[in-house]
Structure 1
Amino acid sequence: MLDHAPAPLDASTLHALATVLAPLGPLDRAELLTGGMFATTYRATLADGTRVVVKTAPTATDRLLRYEHDLLRTEALVYGLAANRPDLLMPRVLLTDLSRSVLPSDVLVVTHLDGTPLADLGEVDDATSQRAHHELGAFMARLHTVRGDRFGYPNDATGLHAATWPDAFGAMAGALLDDAEAWGAEVPAARVRTALARHAAALAEVRDPALVHTDLWPGNLFVEPATGALIGVIDTERAVWGDPLLEFAGADQMGLGPVPDALLEGYASAGGSLALGTPSGDARLWLYRMYMSLVLTVEIGPRGYTGDWLVGHRAKAWANLHAALDALG
């Protein structure tokens, strides 16, 4: 599923993985996959040659943002919803271990996807880029036909759900503001609350909870390298029941420009319709860009980010947050 350079595993980790995977068969070998910034992921090969992906949640739960608690259970839920929808291109759940008795966190084991992460292709030609955007838009529209019975994060552990979208989204944003205060992250909390109140009517126009992935960046999209054809989608742990427009902010979390035409054309080709271009729809997109910028800003502390890249990353997230708030009036 992921194709980054493997790292050697210690004997205790290999033993734990073998114990978890025993219902599927004996473990032959396993390797740590790098590239993620939240969960820990392994590629395991069973004795019969079957490759599977094993994902474990962070064990330092005191360093999680509120919405991040028990996220692997959300990922398993979404893969389960997609199990009878091959058009949703997701791995199948092979087993879960939520006992936290073998490994110190929830464990999710899924099928190994073919293809290459779009992020790993580097620069691609225009035709490949256009196809990837078009097929991603079509995928989004198909995903958004999956409907829930309430809004917000699916996992009860977060408490971030409600009967209406304004209430759920307000709780989601409010939790981030609380996290910001707890971690000493400087954010314009009063402006965020004002924007939510000012545009509550626009949020209230969303009446049907659609399944929104919220993290469809190129690292989570598996494509056929030669053509850009989308053949797999992973990492659904941050999925939300909410407004389909949230997907477009999640897919380009550092972007503020127009949604690419090929993405919108793909969405329409699969029967999807959006409120972009209307005052309400445009306001909601800016609210979701505000939300994503808050996530990127607040998570810096608990994730313990370091490196030369951090200064630019923090500045960009901060600038985007204020640009969204300016657009919201």
Structure 2
Amino acid sequence: MPVTLTSEVPLESLRTLVAPVGELREAIRLEGGFFATTYRVTLTDGTRVVVKTAPAATDRLLTHEHDLLRTEALVYGLGGARPDLLMPRLLHTDLTRAVVPGDVVVASHLDGVPWVDAGFGPPDEDARTRRAQSDLGALVGRLGTVTGEAFGYPQSPALQAGTWRAAFTAMVGTLLADARHWGVDVPDERIRAALARHADALDTVTAPRLVHTDLWPGNVFVEPATGEVVGIIDTERALWGDPVLDLVGADPMWDGLPDAFAAHHDLTAPHVPTRLALGHLWLSLVMTVEPAPRAYPPSDWLTGYAAANRRNLARALDELA
């Protein structure tokens, strides 16, 4: 398994971080994340909150990953006015980096369990899976009704622009620069050519819409008895851009969107297949470059993961050729 950027947070630091919302009684570290460090904290009045801290090892981040928790705070704040987006409530932020080395978000604790841990069966055998897929497809549509003022990453002015073409090109260009910096061999010229060839498809995205980008089952909370989606977390990788990126993020290994999910989206509309292929190009490039700065140790897992990402990168380029 991969190494992580997470690190322990001293109890007294946690006590200080939650003080604006209550007094700490108990703290339990939540496992499963490789980027941020997250704790479930129970306050003395019985309320449970989640404390999330950004990694201190900023020299091992991709360019777009700097200051990501500021985006999480922004998106949770937007969700406060839209309960239909099913996000935790933002309770407190600490961006001073005085208590711990990174930014901190304190949010409400969601009901339900992560979909990945719910024990659902295949969709053709388990109605709960079909319900979760349908609910998530509908939620992606609601996320796209929230619009911003510029395209790109909210926390990174250098990766923002007035058009989706310019912002997306900058996002991909930064990943290519990261690949060069970390010695990751990727088909730079083919990727740039694909972007230039399909600029017209990028130009059909005219409004910067909220995109979570990372809606895999680990970030989706469900009611285990029914499959109802009750919440989504980890919005730190959100951006303002093309809503089809959420279809890509919900299918990161490009296995195919389930019918119950795809029913909420017209995947054959003009330019949508091209935008989907561009989205898979971008995400497979992220996942191809990412292991190098993370210093993942050699393993069977890494070998299979790297091969799958390179296959998807090649598939996207072939579809865009």
Q: Alignment partner of 1:190: what SS?
A: helix
Q: List structure 1 runs of 4+ shifted beyond 3 angstroms.
A: none
Q: Distance in 2 between matches of 1:214 and 1:38?
A: 15
The Cα shift of 1:278 comes to 3.9
Name the Cα RMSD after superposition. 1.4
Q: Distance in 1 between matches of 2:211 and 2:91?
A: 23
2:29 matched residue in structure 1: 32
> Which of residues 299, 312, 316 is equivalent to 1:320?
312
> Do 1:256 and 1:320's aligned partners in 2 also have CA atoms closer than 8 Å?
no
Q: Deviation string for 1:14-57 (max 9, x for gaps)?
A: 01111111122221111111101111101111111111100000
The worse-fitting range, judged by mean Cα deviation, of 83-92 and 19-28 is 19-28
Q: Distance in 1 between matches of 2:46 and 2:300?
A: 41
- The correspondence of residues 115-130 of structure 1 with structure 2, limited to 5 A, is 115-124=112-121, 125-130=125-130
1:228 counterpart letter in structure 2: G
> Do 2:64 and 2:156's aligned partners in 1 also have CA atoms closer than 8 Å?
no
* Structure 2 spans left out of the alignment, 5+ residues: 1-6
1:327 counterpart letter in structure 2: E
> Which of residues 74, 86, 89 is equivalent to 2:86?
89
- The correspondence of residues 276-315 of structure 1 with structure 2, limited to 5 A, is 276-278=267-269, 280-306=271-297, 307-315=299-307
1:188 matched residue in structure 2: 187
2:258 matched residue in structure 1: 260
Q: Distance in 2 between matches of 1:248 and 1:214?
A: 8
1:57 matched residue in structure 2: 54
1:5 matched residue in structure 2: none
Q: Distance in 2 between matches of 1:320 and 1:279?
A: 23
- The correspondence of residues 41-120 of structure 1 with structure 2, limited to 5 A, is 41-120=38-117
Q: Distance in 2 between matches of 1:122 and 1:227?
A: 12
- The correspondence of residues 223-234 of structure 1 with structure 2, limited to 5 A, is 223-234=222-233
Q: Distance in 2 between matches of 1:41 and 1:129?
A: 27
The Cα shift of 1:240 comes to 1.0
Q: Distance in 2 between matches of 1:305 and 1:71?
A: 21
Matched length: 311
Q: Alignment partner of 2:10: what SS?
A: helix
The Cα shift of 1:256 comes to 4.8
2:275 counterpart letter in structure 1: R
The Cα shift of 1:255 comes to 1.1
Fraction of identical pairs, as percent: 59
Q: Alignment partner of 1:192: what SS?
A: helix
The Cα shift of 1:260 comes to 2.2
* Structure 1 spans left out of the alignment, 5+ residues: 1-8, 269-273
Q: Deviation string for 1:260-310 (max 9, x for gaps)?
A: 221122x25xxxxx4x21452111100100111001110001112233311
> Do 1:294 and 1:321's aligned partners in 2 also have CA atoms closer than 8 Å?
yes
2:294 counterpart letter in structure 1: R
The Cα shift of 1:250 comes to 1.0
2:152 matched residue in structure 1: 152
The Cα shift of 1:173 comes to 0.4
Q: Alignment partner of 2:11: what SS?
A: helix
Q: Alignment partner of 1:145: what SS?
A: coil
Q: Distance in 2 between matches of 1:151 and 1:19?
A: 36
1:95 counterpart letter in structure 2: H
Q: Distance in 1 between matches of 2:255 and 2:155?
A: 29
Q: Distance in 1 between matches of 2:21 and 2:129?
A: 38
> Do 2:210 and 2:241's aligned partners in 1 also have CA atoms closer than 8 Å?
yes
1:213 counterpart letter in structure 2: H
The Cα shift of 1:126 comes to 2.9
Give the structure-2-normalised TM-score. 0.94
1:215 matched residue in structure 2: 214
Q: Distance in 2 between matches of 1:220 and 1:290?
A: 22
Q: Distance in 1 between matches of 2:201 and 2:17?
A: 47
Q: Distance in 2 between matches of 1:207 and 1:215?
A: 22
Q: Distance in 1 between matches of 2:274 and 2:39?
A: 40
